[in-house]
Amino acid sequence: MYDTIIIGSGVSSIFAMLNLHTDQKILTIDSGPDIATRLVKASTSGFAGLGLSEGKYNFSPDLGSHLSSKIGEALVRKYLAEVESILNTFGAKAALTYQSHATNQSDSSIKFLACHTKHLGTVLSKEVYHNIFTYLSDKVDFLFNNAVTNIEKQDGNFRITTSENHVFHAKKVIVATGSKKNAALNKSFANLGLVYQNNRVDIGFRIETLSETFDSLLQNDLEVKMKKANMYSYCMNKNGRVIKRNLHGRVTPEGQNSREETPSKNLNFTLFRPYYFDTEAQMNAYLDSLFDKINQNSDRIIGYPLHSLSSEFESIKKVQSTLAYESDFTANILLDDLLTDTIDFLHCLEQSMQSKIDGNTLLYCYDTKYFGPEIHTNIRFESDVPGLYFIGDCSGVTYSLSHAACSGLYLGEVLN
Give the span between the Cα atoms of 262 and 50, in whole angstroms.
24
Residue 13, C-beta contacts closer than 8 angstroms, at least 6 positions apart: 6, 28, 49, 174, 176, 391, 392, 408
Same domain as 299, residue 356: yes
- Whether residue 114 lies inside any domain: the answer is no
- Considering the domain architecture, whether residues 125 and 152 belong to the same structural domain is answered as yes
Q: Give the pLDDT score at 375.
A: 85
CB atoms within 10 A of CB 165: 8
Domain residue limits at 128:
2-102+119-197+373-415
Looking at residue 107, what is its pLDDT?
62
pLDDT at 44: 83
What phi, psi does 229 have (nearest 5°)? 55, -125
Note the Cα 355 to chain centre separation in Å.
31
Q: Are residues 338 and 381 in the same domain?
A: no
Chain-centroid distance of CA 378 in Å reads: 23
Does residue 34 sit in helix, strand or coil? coil
Tell me whether residue 364 is in a domain: yes
With respect to residue 159, please indicate whether it lies within any of the assigned structural domains. Answer: yes
Contacts of 200 (CB under 8 A, 6+ apart): 274, 275, 276, 277, 371, 373
7 lies in some domain:
yes
* pLDDT value for 106: 56
> Are residues 208 and 250 part of one domain?
yes
Domain tally for the chain? 2
pLDDT given for residue 207 in this prediction: 98
CB half-sphere exposure, 249, CA atoms < 13 A: 11
307 part of a folded domain: yes
Amino acid at 244: K
Give the number of other CB atoms < 10 A from CB of residue 324. 11
Same domain, 243 and 334: yes
Whether 112 is in a domain gets the answer no
Host H or E run for residue 228: strand 225-228
Give the H or E element holding residue 87: helix 73-89
Q: What are 339-364's pLDDT values in tens digits?
A: 999 999 999 999 888 789 999 999 99
Last residue of a domain, one of 370, 388, 405: 370
State whether 399 and 339 are in the same domain.
Answer: no
Tell me: do 159 and 250 sit in the same domain.
no
- Pick out the chain residues at pLDDT < 70: 104-107, 372
Tell me the per-residue pLDDT of 242-299, one tens digit each, with 9 for 90 and over.
999 998 889 999 999 888 889 999 999 999 999 999 888 899 999 999 999 999 999 9
Q: Which helix (H) or strand (E) holds 289?
A: helix 280-295
What pTM does this model have? 0.80
